[in-house]
Structure 1
């Protein structure tokens, strides 16, 4: 069924549920994966022709701030490290088996784990990061200490390295990373993006060129010969809050419903997808109708990235 060239037959998706919220302060984002699965995502993927494995949500020990005092500015560092390391092992194991890991978050600190796992299986993989935020603060530049705003800097090996995260091998190279949808970037992050020559397409570029051209330009940068594996890490706050209201850090002026889906469809069409993250659905925020809307969008983004077409 699949046109994805790096997968084994029969084409299999491993749904990795990560009900984890330790990378940021707002409760509820740990409910995101549970709601996505309750909404029928597993069966929806089977209807697309995939074999799907889902062995329940990963059980993470309760966050207990008393047990996990800050290291410098970093909040919950031991918990985040332990969880992301276990996620890296799970995702890497699936990727090495020729299975497509679809990780449902939880907060975006989890990408430290998912992308580490992908790079363990595919050292030359590139990352398409779709988000309102760059998530590239370092231990020095972070104001909040919330690690969900920092996973990219850990993956790139930027800033001073806390011992707690020494397991992360900075295997991601700046030229293998591209952003789409940015619109809320701190001054320190802008400097990091410039200093490391990291390609980023903000909403200004999306407005200027249109999403079709943007995806083409993004892929031309990270995957010019269209031969490298792709890890797509999608934060639902990349979408405009009118489309996906139930998320922890919504920012006006985001991607439309169709722009978000087009990115997923176009990545699938390359045949190069090896891992997918869908992060930051928070069902505790907004009213019931908005939660339902956000969960439905989350499910349809995953389906689009796994081959669902309009015709």
Structure 2
């Protein structure tokens, strides 16, 4: 037991040292046009109002948190349309501005925390991360859905189900010309991608994932092998040499609706909050997190209790990514523990 306490104390002290050296930049993207349900655009505000920045400082020991504010964009592709891609002009315009903003945050030497908004913002956040660092970027997509549809395979036309297909270099030939997207030059290799939490895939996504050998870990894998083994396997698959910058795009619907009910496309049988926390703690410990997206919190869905539960879950995920340690450690002094006079 003494040995365990020494290890635990060492771990928390390492966590505090690492957190103290981290610099974070926070971006809001109140964007909802990648899907049909209103409300997701106020997700960032709800998370902020729960005390995000103060908790990053107090709970994670981060001394340098810079607020980059809200991403605003001009629609530079007015009336540009692509078959079966709803609100294409807004999505591509927002993505371009967001890419530039994420690049700026990372070039400032900060981990970029982006609060969405719907998951179409992943186009801009990952592209900006690649511009700032490298196209050889490792991406962990934590989601109930694969978001790998093209405009020809999507059943809804909602672009929040397409961001990874837009970014993937292996899928370039599946797309028609995309107006206003000449800036989208950095492309993600799908060999650098891993999924955790999948449980709702379209037929086309099944085919693409298996044909291209994309690393994916569904809820069956988590139940069978445990979350720790799954996270380790995902890291090994997307980054075998363990030296790439890591981008995590975390959709709150990866959690079970009992944990996070206020989201637009819930799917039962999802991750427990403790499993989501474990994923982000493991990523934090790599020391290579470069950017985190937290998306699809929709405060207009459910009652106030549902909203509070969802926002609280989002907060726990974010704080775990930046070093909040939930493990018990030995107190500095036994004087803090009152004697048990009943013995």
Q: TM-score range by the shorter chain?
A: over 0.9
Asked if 1:163 corresponds to 2:179, the answer is: yes
Q: Note closer, same or farther for the CA distance 1:176–1:2 as it changes in structure 2 (3 Å cut).
A: farther
Q: Is the 8 A contact 2:33 2:90 kept in 1?
A: yes
Match of residue 173 from structure 1: 189
Q: 1:8-60, CA deviations, whole angstroms, 9 ceiling, x for partnerless residues?
A: x9521111011110100100000100100011001101112221111332235
Aligned CA distance change for structure 1 residues 131 and 100 (closer, same or farther; 3 Å) = same
Identify which of 71, 86, 89 aligns with 2:97.
Answer: 86
Q: How does 1:132-151 map to 2 (within 5 A)?
A: 132-151=144-163
Residues 23 and 147 in structure 1, CA contact (< 8 A), matched pair in contact too: yes
The yes-or-no answer on 1:18 pairing with 2:33 is no
**RMSD, aligned CA:** 1.6
Q: Which moved more, 1:46-55 or 1:292-301?
A: 46-55
Work out whether residues 43 and 116 of structure 2, in 8 Å CA contact, stay in contact via their aligned partners in 1: yes
259-268 or 186-195: which moved more? 186-195
Contact 1:156–1:170 under 8 Å retained in 2: no
Counterpart of 2:261? 245
Q: Which residue number in structure 1 is paired with residue 18 of structure 2?
A: 3
The correspondence for 1:262, drawn from 263, 273, 278, is 278
How many residues end up aligned between the 2 structures? 303
Match of 2:39 among 3, 28, 31: 28
Note the 1:47-86 alignment, pairs <5 A. Answer: 47=58, 48-50=60-62, 51-60=64-73, 68=79, 70-86=81-97
| Higher mean C-alpha displacement, 44-53 vs 178-187 | 44-53
TM-score (norm 1): 0.93
Confirm or deny that 1:303 pairs with 2:319: yes
Instruction: Please report the TM-score for the alignment, with normalisation by the length of structure 2.
Output: 0.85
Secondary structure of the corresponding residue to residue 23 of structure 1? coil
Matches of 2:100 and 2:17 in 1, distance apart? Answer: 25
The alignment status of 1:98 with 2:109, answered yes or no, reads yes
My pick for the range that moved more, 221-230 or 247-256, is 221-230
Distance in 1, matches of 2:99 and 2:304, equals: 33
Going from structure 1 to structure 2, the CA distance change for 1:299 and 1:82 (only over 3 Å counts) comes to same
Which ranges in structure 2 are unaligned for 5 or more consecutive residues? 1-15, 328-343
Deviation, 1:271, is 0.7
In structure 2, how many angstroms separate the alpha carbons of the residues matched to 1:247 and 1:128? 20
Q: Which structure: larger Rg?
A: 2
